[in-house]
Structure formats: C-alpha cells, structure tokens
C-alpha cells in the first residue's frame, strides 16, 4: 500500500536546480535509505516531503499518514544552552495535536518514559538539553520524533554525532521500530557502507534519481555498476 506518492518533484534555489524531476512511490512500512554525494539534494528532498521547502514543480501526496516524526540534521545555529530539560524537549513531539490548554496526560507521560527506556536515556530526562553530548542529544531528539508513534519517520543524517557502536545500535533500534510498529522510515545518510545492512530500499540521488529499489537489485544491477564503478557499488553492498 502506497504511503508517499512523489511525482516530478523539482526544487530550485534561484537558477540552481537542487532536485530534478524525481518520481517514486514509497510503500507503507518501507525502510528506505536516501544516499548520494554532497549537494545531491538529499536534504532538499526530505524538506520538500515535510513541506519545509516549496517545490518549483511536481507534487508530494501522503496516503494514510497521520503523524510524522522528524529528526533534523544537528543544527549548529541553535542556542547553545537552551533553557529546557530533555523531558520538555521530548514532550514537544506530543503537543502538536493537542488543544488548549495542551497538557500531557498519564498516557503521554508513560509514552515518554517508554521511549526513553528503549533509547537508554531514562537517566537524562531531567538534564538540560544543552549540556548533553552530541550522541545523547541525538538520542533525545530521536525520542522526540518517536514519542508520538508516527506513521512516517524522516531522519536527516541522524548518526553524524554517533560513534560506530552507537551508530549500529541506532540503526538496529530503527529496524526494530520499523518491524514492530510498521513505521515507514526514510533515512538520509552518508553512511552507505553500513545502511545496506539495515534498510531494505535505497534511493540514490545526484540531483536526479539515479536509483530507487531494493538493495538486492542495486547490488546486482549492471547499469548501477556502470554508474558507481565496481568499488563504490561493492562498498555500498558489502554489509548487505
């Protein structure tokens, strides 16, 4: 069943084309890695899906998606010591759909505790967000994205602040979440060598859509070998 229908999506910044005529459909429950070189339009693509970027052409239609969780790239522009603890930041993931006076109920509190337990950050709940390490902050923001139990989870380079072990744990956790909750996942990553082990599909962008399909197909495809070369294709596929 289709979750996202993307048709002829084009994004321009002035005269510069960031994404050119992307057409693909994402099925419900898919776990898709979005890879590509720097400046290939990965972030523009997810920002267009989230309506944070206005496309120059084309359309994005969601089907059966009610809640979206989003983990942005680390934002260096954010206030260094924002005056809030982890609990307050995670709770912003639940406030969107609430009506005034927007209070958290017992169920919400339970969900926050559960997601923090799953991410092993229960001991950080009362810590100030600005005093966390990069990896801890990343987990707290993932908890914020997951706490509302979204139908679609979009992550933009979520493992940039994580060491290799934490990164593998992070991917496994997403894989479990995808299998258990049937959450559709779109994950932007430079970590093409590892992601093939976890994600089931790959969307490879280089301003245009170079490849979209399963990793099996990608790893055996002759045209892909022509595009990437033997080494690059082997690198992406080595842990698959």
Binding residues for other proteins, per CB under 8 A? 13-14, 47, 50-52, 68-70, 72, 75, 77-79, 81-85, 88-89, 92-93, 95-98, 100, 102, 128, 144-145, 148
Q: How far is the CB of 211 from other proteins (least distance, A)?
A: 27
52 vs 61, which CB is nearer to other proteins?
52
174 vs 236, which CB is nearer to other proteins?
174
d(CA 18, CA 148): 31
127 vs 208, which CB is nearer to other proteins?
127
- Could you say which DSSP state residue 90 is in? H
What are the tokens at 21? 């005529």
Instruction: Using the structure block, give the residue that is written with the tokens 């910044």.
Output: 13
Does the N-terminal peptide bond of residue 34 adopt cis geometry, omega within 30 degrees of 0?
no
35 vs 90, which CB is nearer to other proteins?
90
Q: How far is the CB of 135 from other proteins (least distance, A)?
A: 18
Q: How far is the CB of 158 from other proteins (least distance, A)?
A: 13
Q: How far is the CB of 201 from other proteins (least distance, A)?
A: 22
Instruction: Using the structure block, give the residue that is written with the tokens 């459909």.
Output: 25
41 vs 196, which CB is nearer to other proteins?
41
92 vs 133, which CB is nearer to other proteins?
92
Q: How far is the CB of 134 from other proteins (least distance, A)?
A: 16
Degrees to nearest 5, angle at CA 38 with 193 and 81: 95
**Kind and range of the H or E run holding 210:** strand 208-214
Q: How far is the CB of 41 from other proteins (least distance, A)?
A: 15
Contact between residue 132 and residue 140 where contact means Cβ atoms under 8 Å apart: yes
Residue 82 neighbours by CB under 8 Å, 6+ apart: 128, 129, 130
């Amino acid at each position: 069943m289709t979750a996202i229908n993307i048709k002829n999506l084009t994004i321009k910044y002035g005269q510069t084309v960031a994404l050119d005529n992307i057409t693909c459909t994402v099925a419900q429950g898919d776990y898709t890695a979005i890879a590509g070189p720097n400046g290939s339009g990965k972030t523009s693509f997810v920002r267009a899906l989230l309506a944070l970027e206005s496309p120059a052409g084309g359309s994005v239609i969601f089907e059966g998606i009610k809640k979206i969780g989003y983990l942005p790239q680390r934002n260096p522009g954010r206030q260094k010591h924002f005056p809030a603890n982890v609990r307050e930041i995670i709770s912003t993931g639940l406030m969107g759909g609430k009506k005034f006076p927007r209070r958290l109920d017992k169920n919400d509190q339970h969900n926050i505790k559960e997601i923090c337990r799953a991410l092993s950050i229960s001991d950080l709940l009362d810590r100030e967000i600005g005093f966390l390490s990069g990896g801890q902050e990343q987990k707290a923001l993932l908890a914020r994205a997951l706490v509302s139990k979204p139908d679609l989870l979009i992550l933009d380079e979520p493992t940039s602040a994580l060491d290799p072990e934490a990164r593998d744990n992070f991917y496994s956790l997403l894989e479990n979440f995808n299998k258990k909750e049937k959450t559709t996942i779109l994950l932007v990553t430079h970590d093409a060598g590892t992601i093939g082990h976890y994600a089931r599909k790959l969307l490879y962008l280089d301003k245009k859509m170079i490849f979209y399909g399963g990793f099996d197909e990608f790893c055996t495809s002759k045209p892909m070998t022509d595009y990437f070369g033997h080494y690059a294709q082997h690198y992406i596929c080595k842990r698959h």
